[in-house]
């Protein structure tokens, strides 16, 4: 079996992914900031699935360090999934330049730079799967979260380009576009239940997409159609909407 690197391993989605891949027999590398908390997850995953689990400290906004971090990571994974993300509060990010910078670094610059390093390794080894969790928020900018949304848009386009570059190699690239997920990121928000996925469901979809070498998936599936409609609203109307 392979070895999966989960970037942003403390998120609910990453934790569900660890169970999904662990149950299938994959060894796991859990990378996160303040990673000490993950020692408990390590024990849990090892007891449940009898797989190897290692915990690594990683701050995705530590841009200068990302290259070295991966270069010194041993052993190397053959699947890498970027789950990191920062929704933040739009008004705060608008008012505070540092906070806007953090949103871009966490959602776009950091993950893209790290995956770029990983892609070079996978391409050279001619094997592997790279998966990035983007968001439907990246499909059309709106006032309530365009800093986050535009970073995710950039990340989606990054993955699209990477997929195109690696299409002739044996390395596959999956883009995941979740709609709403019931996680720490959205705790306390009034999300519409039928459109909101549980992290376990999202993890199952991602696992399947990696196994079946899908290119772009939406989870839950109806978001593909919801976004098709939203993308097609004419701009003169869209700009006046309260979204």
| Closer residue to ligand NAP in complex, CB, 90/183 | 183
Which residue number, 169 or 220, has a Cβ lying nearer to ligand NAP? 220
> Taking the complex as a whole, how short is the minimal distance between the CB of residue 220 and ligand NAP, in angstroms?
11
Minimum distance from CB of 41 to another protein (Å)?
A: 6
Q: Which is nearer to another protein, 22 or 178 (CB)?
A: 22
Residue 47 binding target from another protein, ligand NAP, none, CB below 5 to 8 Å by type? another protein
Q: Does 180 bind another protein (CB under 8 A)?
A: no
Q: Which is nearer to ligand NAP, 56 or 127 (CB)?
A: 56
Indicate which single residue of 6, 29, 32, 41 sits in contact with another protein (rule: CB under 8 A): 41
Contact with another protein (CB under 8 A) among 1, 43, 63, 228: 43
Nearest-approach distance from CB 172 to another protein, in angstroms: 29
In whole angstroms, what is the distance from residue 7 CA to residue 81 CA? Answer: 6
Give the residue with the Cβ less far from ligand NAP, 83 or 209: 83
Provide, rounded to whole angstroms, the least separation between the CB of residue 27 and ligand NAP. 21
Closest CA to 48 of 81, 77, 76, 26: 26
Instruction: Work out whether 208 is an interface residue with another protein (CB under 8 A).
Output: no
Q: What secondary structure, in 3-state letters, does the chain show?
A: CCEEEEECCCCHHHHHHHHHHHHCCCEEEEEECCHHHHHHHHHHHHHHHCCCEEEEECCCCCHHHHHHHHHCCCCCCCEEEECCCCCCCHHHHHHCHHHHHHHHHHHHHHHHHHHHHHHHHHHHHCCCEEEEECCHHHCCCCCCCHHHHHHHHHHHHHHHHHHHHHCCCCCEEEEEEECEECCHHHCCCCCCHHHEECHHHHHHHHHHHHHCCCCEEEECCCHHHHHHHHHCCCHHHHCCCCC
Residue 27 or 139 with smaller CB distance to ligand NAP: 139
What, of another protein, ligand NAP, none, does residue 13 touch, CB below 5 to 8 Å by kind?
Answer: ligand NAP
Q: Which residues in this chain contact another protein in the complex, by CB under 8 A?
A: 10, 12, 37, 40-41, 43-44, 47-48, 184, 187
């Amino acid at each position: 079996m392979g070895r999966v690197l989960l970037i942003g391993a403390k998120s609910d989605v990453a934790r569900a992914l660890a169970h999904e891949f662990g149950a299938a027999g994959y060894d796991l590398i859990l990378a996160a900031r303040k990673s000490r908390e993950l020692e408990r997850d390590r024990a849990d995953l090892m007891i449940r699935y009898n797989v190897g689990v290692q915990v690594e400290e990683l701050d995705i906004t530590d841009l200068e360090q990302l290259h070295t971090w991966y270069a010194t990571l041993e052993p190397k994974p053959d699947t890498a999934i970027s789950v990191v993300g920062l929704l933040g509060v739009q008004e705060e990010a608008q008012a505070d330049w540092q906070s806007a910078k953090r949103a871009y670094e966490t959602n776009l610059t950091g993950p893209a730079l790290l995956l770029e390093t990983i892609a070079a390794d996978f391409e050279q080894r001619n094997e592997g799967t790279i998966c990035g969790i983007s968001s439907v928020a990246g499909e059309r900018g709106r006032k309530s979260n365009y800093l986050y949304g535009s970073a995710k848009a950039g990340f989606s386009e990054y993955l699209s380009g990477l997929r195109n570059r690696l299409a002739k190699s044996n390395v596959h690239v999956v883009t995941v576009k979740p709609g709403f997920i019931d996680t720490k990121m959205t705790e306390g928000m009034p999300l519409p239940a039928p459109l909101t996925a549980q992290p376990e469901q999202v993890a199952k979809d991602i696992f399947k997409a990696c196994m079946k070498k899908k290119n772009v998936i939406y989870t839950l599936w109806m978001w593909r159609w919801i976004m098709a409609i939203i993308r097609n609203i004419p701009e003169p109307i869209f700009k006046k909407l309260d979204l």
